[in-house]
Structure 1
Amino acid sequence: MSLWRLLLTTACALHAVPRVHSCEELPVFSPSPLVVKRGDFATATCSICNNSCDYELRLEEAYQSSFKRGNQMVWNISSLRLPWSVNILCYIFDSDCPTVSLDVIVYKPPENVSVSFKNRSGSSLESPSGPLKEGQVYCLQCEVEAVAPAQNMKVTFYRDFRELLVMRSSKTEKHPVSESFCLDYRVSREDHGATFWCEARLELGPQGPQPPPVVRSHNITAVVHYAPYSEGPEEPQLLTVNQGQSAELVCRAEGNPPPLYSWSLPSGSDYRGPVLTIPSASSQHEGPYTCTASNALGAVNRSFTLTVHVNYVPIIIAVVIVLVLLTIAVVLLMVYRLYYKQHCMGKYNISDKFRLHHHQPIPTTV
């Protein structure tokens, strides 16, 4: 029995109150438990018998007590602050019946909730979002600051809007505490650009606020570094083009940091870039080509074999045309020699044009 209860019992002994020997009914607090936010108004009622009996109840808390003859008493406080552990008692005066205590839950939502990626050793990265290396396991850490009571808190991790894991605190302190929760997370290239966050939810039961208080962290967008990869076939690609046509060899790869490209060409020359274009293919461009896409985490190769097909049809047509033209020319020359000179010119002698003709003298008359 507390000191205040002993003093009150002694002080009230002068009242002629019959001693209660039967404990068939006990005082009841309502609401119970009493859930109140730190600094808010709080009230609870202790009653017995539903107003059908006449007991003298006592209401007791630390450093103050009150008593009233009757079967109902009200406890209230305008602003619930210190202490965090509240002990309110209600009992029937001058009886051997058990004392009933009011279950008070004083809660305080977290001051702050933050999320970040850390190395499993606990060391920090360049930023909360990374960079992270594909295939490695990191601690996705959710830090909750100054929350009470921690044992009623549920921490949930999210990737985008998909729930990853739910964790609970093992701390039983009534006063505010800070706590860190670590989710071991293996990073993949699909996580690059994904949004991660966490939230702390105080689940205080049906007597608590509805919906439960939730404090959510900011979002972080994961930065994942991974080696280049290509979705194309692994075996060499066979490319065939006609002579004179353009050829395009595509060697695009995905990677972070973005990969650099280098080519091995049949000519032995150097080229850098994801796409190699040959404007006019010829036999000198035939052969194997190898492209390498690389960054600091690895490299991937793509192989090509280029064949330049010579189209002989235009050449044959050109040769036929030339032969036809030559044939026509020969025929025309023969016609000229055999026909034109003999029939059109006849027996022609240029000396006849210059031969002097002798004319008969003109007779004269006597």
Structure 2
Amino acid sequence: MLLSLFYSVEFWSWFRMTVCVLFIFVVMLGVYVEYTHTDSCSTPLTVSHDSLLVEYGEPVNLTCSIPTKPSSEYKLGWEAQINPVETENETSVTWRSPGLTEWEVNGREMFCFLSELNKEQCKKRVHLSLYRHPDSVKISSESSVWSEGQMMKLKCEIKNVGPLQNLTVQWTRVDQNKNRTVTEMSYGSFSSSGEERKSVDVTATLNVLASRDEDGVQYQCAALLKLEQLHQPQVGTSEPLNITVHYKPTITQPSNDTISVIKGDELVLNCSAHGNPSPQYYWGSPGKIITHSSILIISSVQSENQGQYNCTAYNDAGSDSVMVNVVVDYKLIIITVCAVLGVGLLVTGFSFWLHERYRRTHSVTIS
């Protein structure tokens, strides 16, 4: 019967519930003991700061005091990783560091304690945090000039900043229209040398695709320490870095088209392109170059000027070309000749009519 009870579902449900209740009881008992141990002392402890954020190398003074001397023997002091101190006959004791540089204080709580004869020790916690502004923040590119289409790396080097676990590297991009884009990299996304609670040298990289939109863009990187008591998290910023991207020209005018020109008129073909470095130009017709200029001028178009003309814009990054087909238009000449002939015929006919009328009139009068 006991064996069947041992294997029953009800038994194991009851067992799990009992273990759970016991666990909660133990946890609550520990919290209660800790609370009465640290905060419900018969002689209250007062500290000058419950928590304190200290800049690397700055002096620190933390005072712990009691209102009156206990009637029995006692010790009042500071329990700390560095510079522990205590007194047996004063109502206050000060923990001092003339210039705090020991990173061991980070992540370790300090205690002001009061130990009385035949009584439990009373403690008061103080959370002390150390941080450090970087010695320098520098941004650099693997190349001073980028080529369109390449994947480029920007590097941000931060010297001696801490604690690493609270560090964020911030990238700021400002384009030609002054629009800002901000990207942040938190701890773990960049390489470092040293422990997470200490000051370290950090190198963060940002991959950027070199495009013509990046030409003239400005980048900066900054070190941010996100600590609750630090009102201004930005602790160091690099100088701005201006980006130059070389890209081949793109012709903006003229377009591939056919242009009709009246024989004898002036023809002006203007070619312009956008590229970096600034493009150079030449105009040509099949088999020859006409001019090393962006403008082609023919002062009086003749029939032999009819045909295809190519503008080429080029720089170190590449080239672009456009073709213009020029057609000499004779319609206006034909119309003009016809008009002149027509006017001539009208004048001749009118003159003949006047002559005939004059002749007939004079013939009648003589008769």
Q: TM-score, normalised by structure 1?
A: 0.69
Q: Does 1:263 pair with 2:283? A: yes
Q: 1:300 and 1:317 mapped to 2: Cα distance?
A: 46
Number of the residue aligned with 1:185:
208
Q: Gapped runs of 5+ residues in structure 1?
A: 1-20, 119-124, 335-366
Instruction: Pick closer, same or farther for the CA change 1:244–1:22 going to 2, 3 Å.
Output: closer
Number of the residue aligned with 2:241:
220
Q: State the shift of 1:266 in Å.
A: 5.8
Q: Does 1:143 pair with 2:157? A: yes
Q: 1:177 and 1:229 mapped to 2: Cα distance?
A: 47
Aligned partner (choices 263, 269, 294) of residue 314 of structure 2: 294
Number of the residue aligned with 1:24:
36
Question: Is the 8 Å Cα contact of residues 23 and 97 (structure 1) preserved in structure 2?
Answer: no
Q: Does 1:304 pair with 2:324? A: yes
Give the secondary structure class of the aligned counterpart of 1:307. Answer: strand
Number of the residue aligned with 2:251:
230
Q: 1:214 and 1:110 mapped to 2: Cα distance?
A: 7
Give the secondary structure class of the aligned counterpart of 2:133. Answer: coil
Structure whose residues are more often helix by fraction: 2
Q: Gapped runs of 5+ residues in structure 2?
A: 1-32, 39-44, 175-179, 357-367
Number of the residue aligned with 1:92:
114
Q: State the shift of 1:144 in Å.
A: 0.7
Instruction: Pick closer, same or farther for the CA change 1:293–1:64 going to 2, 3 Å.
Output: same
Q: 1:275 and 1:304 mapped to 2: Cα distance?
A: 13
Question: Is the 8 Å Cα contact of residues 109 and 213 (structure 1) preserved in structure 2?
Answer: no
Instruction: Pick closer, same or farther for the CA change 1:318–1:68 going to 2, 3 Å.
Output: farther
Q: 1:71 and 1:53 mapped to 2: Cα distance?
A: 6
Q: 1:64 and 1:37 mapped to 2: Cα distance?
A: 20
Give the secondary structure class of the aligned counterpart of 2:304. Answer: helix
Aligned residues: 305
Q: Does 1:115 pair with 2:127? A: no
Give the secondary structure class of the aligned counterpart of 1:25. Answer: helix
Number of the residue aligned with 1:58:
77
Give deviations 1:244-300, integer Å, cap 9, x for gaps: 333232332211122222333269452222232323323222111222222232222
Q: State the shift of 1:64 in Å.
A: 5.2
Give deviations 1:308-364, integer Å, cap 9, x for gaps: 212123222333455667789999999xxxxxxxxxxxxxxxxxxxxxxxxxxxxxx
Q: 1:315 and 1:109 mapped to 2: Cα distance?
A: 89
Considering only CA atoms, is the larger Rg found in Structure 1 or Structure 2?
A: 1
Number of the residue aligned with 1:243:
263
Give the secondary structure class of the aligned counterpart of 2:36. Answer: coil
Question: Is the 8 Å Cα contact of residues 34 and 44 (structure 1) preserved in structure 2?
Answer: no
Number of the residue aligned with 1:164:
183
Number of the residue aligned with 1:343:
none
Instruction: Pick closer, same or farther for the CA change 1:159–1:213 going to 2, 3 Å.
Output: closer
The more displaced of 23-32 and 298-307 is 23-32
Give the secondary structure class of the aligned counterpart of 1:142. Answer: strand
Number of the residue aligned with 1:282:
302
Identity %: 26
Give the secondary structure class of the aligned counterpart of 2:336. Answer: helix
Q: 1:84 and 1:233 mapped to 2: Cα distance?
A: 68
Number of the residue aligned with 2:87:
67
Q: State the shift of 1:96 in Å.
A: 5.6
Q: State the shift of 1:222 in Å.
A: 0.5
Give the secondary structure class of the aligned counterpart of 1:253. Answer: strand
Q: State the shift of 1:41 in Å.
A: 3.4
Q: State the shift of 1:224 in Å.
A: 0.3
Question: Is the 8 Å Cα contact of residues 84 and 106 (structure 1) preserved in structure 2?
Answer: yes
Q: 1:90 and 1:223 mapped to 2: Cα distance?
A: 59
